[in-house]
Structure 1
Amino acid sequence: MKVLRAVVMALLLGWVLPAVALVAVPQLTGRVVDQTGTLSSGDAAQLTQRLADLERRKGSQIAVLIVPTTDGEPIEQFSLRVAEAWKIGRKKVDDGALLVVAKNDRRLRIEVGYGLEGVLTDVTTKRIIDEAITPKFKSGDFAGGVSDGVNRMIGLINGEKLPEPEPAHWDGSGLTDAFPFWLALAFVVSGMLRGLLGRLIGSIATGVFVAGLAWYLVGILSIALGAGALAFVIAMFIDFASSSGRGSGGWSGSSGSSSSSSSSSSGGFSGGGGSFGGGGASGSW
């Protein structure tokens, strides 16, 4: 019985430990994720701009990931894990692609979503790797190799007939992040409207004005109503605070700069729900 238990334990450890040791999937912080510092900030910015332009025009998403190593895991398995976690490309269109470079391993792969397998075939992606990327990598020009490879991918996707991208809306989901903006707008507008209409009516008019503006910018009713309600509360608070201040020697607004949290330069990029099935090609240099 002890021998059987030992054998079972050995088998379990042999299956579990390699899975535990897998390199963690990097966080998706933007269209270009470079964990090696290989790309300069200018190179990454230019590449990001081209990928963002592709998404605006075609709806397709391409992401680039550069890691030091996959730590012994086949790059095909690693890149597929990343693609499944990031979900690059639109849901049900599956028009995403991922370029993964494991720099220290001297390995790379182009992972292709289901919806692009007709244009970025296994043969085509292999040619992109062999003709556009690895020659530059061999000469030490990693930025040039990534750029040329991405350009070839974009050129092919440009010629593919895909569903039109949805009209872009300002992402109003982070309403609380825009609190300083709504505060300033409510302060200015409410000052004018309360002077003309009185405290209550002026505050209501402020809320209606901000709600209308939010609806125009966002196009999402719940966000617009939330912004309007927030503006109404702010307007009432401003009036109450200023009235209290006049009665107690003046209300001192915090003249120090409100610490605005600087957001990361990812631009709020996220995958659109695309699916991958292992299409694409790998290479080395």
Structure 2
Amino acid sequence: MNAARACILALVLCWAFAASADVAVPPLTGRVVDQTATLSSSDIATLTQRLKDLELRKGSQVAVLIVPTTAPETIEQYSIRVAEAWKIGRKKIDDGALLVVAKDDHKLRIEVGYGLEGALNDVTAERIIDEVITPKFRGGDFAGGIAAGVDRIIGVIDGEKLPAPESRQSSGSSGSIENLFNPILIFAVIIVGAILRAALGRLIGSVATGGVVGVLAWFLLGSMALSLIASVVAFFFTMVAENIASSNGRGGFIGGGGGFSGGRSSSDSGSFSGGGGSFGGGGASGSW
């Protein structure tokens, strides 16, 4: 009997502990994390692109989190935990901002990093919540409220003088690498390679094609490393082009069953992470 009572008491205590446990901080899977399915995929894609553009332009990071509830914590306690875990904003510049919406609680908060507290101060954050976001929330337009709030936050950050983003160069390199695999450039390599190979022979024609492509890549991309990569790829591609054409005789290299396709994801999952920014509790909260 005593054993049964002890088991029941243990179960009750475990249930009470679970009920009072803090809401877990979700992983940072993108600039917009919606755990309530409030936003459509197109809404998330649009917000993500705006926030990407901001980071490329100013270096500052802004993220949006929508959760059902923050209970038993207040939204202030929860949002600072999220900010400390995600570390939005650049290290030592601390130019991050976080918009947290607790949908079932009818609460929201703008958490502001140290480096933005001069421009996105408590009064400004409160006005954005009261004048821009919550009026739309009261009408059930959550996507519109979040979008308008993000736009206003971006506008404030754009007006703040911040150190230039260091990621601009690396972003350019990433874009340059993508340009190497542009379908038009690949088609041009095929044509040039075929002409030089027919005129000069397989080996010399391949070398000449690699040289031409390397010079062109250097002129367009301004990177010695990328031009060398392009040159080597063009050389080997031209060397084996005849074999590829033969093995794809029925479908053709361009028109084969699989074909070449590319696209742009509407999410930055896996490619976005906080920059090490710090938060001190600045910002504002609101309700609707």
Q: Structure 1 residues 24 and 94 mapped into 2: Cα distance closer, same or farther (>3 Å)? A: closer
Structure 2 distance, partners of 1:230, 1:92, is: 41
The residue correspondences of 1:210-249 to structure 2 (distance < 5 A) are 210-215=213-218, 219-241=222-244, 245=246
TM-score, normalized by length of structure 1?
Answer: 0.72
Q: Is the 8 A contact 2:89 2:278 kept in 1?
A: no
User: Deviation string for 1:60-99 (max 9, x for gaps)?
Assistant: 3322222333464543454344444544334443322121
Match of 1:266 in 2: 267
Q: Is the 8 A contact 1:69 1:103 kept in 2?
A: yes
Structure 2 distance, partners of 1:19, 1:205, is: 71
How many angstroms does 1:116 deviate by? 0.9
Q: Is the 8 A contact 1:64 1:99 kept in 2?
A: yes
Match of 1:129 in 2: 129
Number of residues paired by the alignment? 266
The residue correspondences of 1:21-170 to structure 2 (distance < 5 A) are 22-29=23-30, 31-70=31-70, 72-165=72-165, 166=168, 169-170=172-173
How many angstroms does 1:136 deviate by? 2.4
Q: Is the 8 A contact 1:120 1:153 kept in 2?
A: yes
- Structure 2: runs of 5+ lacking an equivalent: 1-13
**Partner AA of 1:66 in structure 2:** I
How many angstroms does 1:191 deviate by? 1.4
- Give the stretch that moved more between structures: 60-69 or 82-91: 82-91
Structure 2 distance, partners of 1:178, 1:18, is: 53
**Partner AA of 2:24 in structure 1:** V
**Identity across aligned pairs (percent)?**
57
User: Deviation string for 1:160-180 (max 9, x for gaps)?
Assistant: 1122344651515976x9497
How many angstroms does 1:185 deviate by? 4.9
Q: Does residue 194 of structure 2 align to residue 201 of structure 1?
A: no
Local SS of the residue matching 2:66: strand
Match of 1:276 in 2: 278
Structure 1 distance, partners of 2:274, 2:182, is: 27
Structure 2 distance, partners of 1:93, 1:217, is: 33
Q: Structure 1 residues 48 and 213 mapped into 2: Cα distance closer, same or farther (>3 Å)? A: farther
Local SS of the residue matching 2:172: coil
How many angstroms does 1:275 deviate by? 0.3
**Partner AA of 2:240 in structure 1:** F
Local SS of the residue matching 2:119: coil
**Partner AA of 1:136 in structure 2:** K
Structure 2 distance, partners of 1:135, 1:44, is: 21
Q: Structure 1 residues 172 and 74 mapped into 2: Cα distance closer, same or farther (>3 Å)? A: same
Structure 2 distance, partners of 1:77, 1:214, is: 52
**Partner AA of 1:99 in structure 2:** L
Q: Is the 8 A contact 1:51 1:62 kept in 2?
A: yes
Structure 2 distance, partners of 1:98, 1:21, is: 19
Q: Is the 8 A contact 2:211 2:231 kept in 1?
A: yes
- Structure 1: runs of 5+ lacking an equivalent: 1-12
Local SS of the residue matching 1:100: strand
Q: Is the 8 A contact 1:61 1:96 kept in 2?
A: yes
**Partner AA of 1:187 in structure 2:** I
How many angstroms does 1:240 deviate by? 4.5
TM-score, normalized by length of structure 2?
Answer: 0.71
User: Deviation string for 1:225-279 (max 9, x for gaps)?
Assistant: 333322322221213555xx4xx9x687562123747552126862461402233
Q: Is the 8 A contact 2:176 2:221 kept in 1?
A: no
Question: Over aligned residue pairs, what C-alpha RMSD do you find?
Answer: 4.0
**Partner AA of 2:211 in structure 1:** V
The residue correspondences of 1:170-189 to structure 2 (distance < 5 A) are 170-171=173-174, 178=181, 184-189=187-192
Local SS of the residue matching 1:65: strand
Match of 2:258 in 1: 257
Match of 1:8 in 2: none
Match of 2:9 in 1: none
How many angstroms does 1:37 deviate by? 3.0
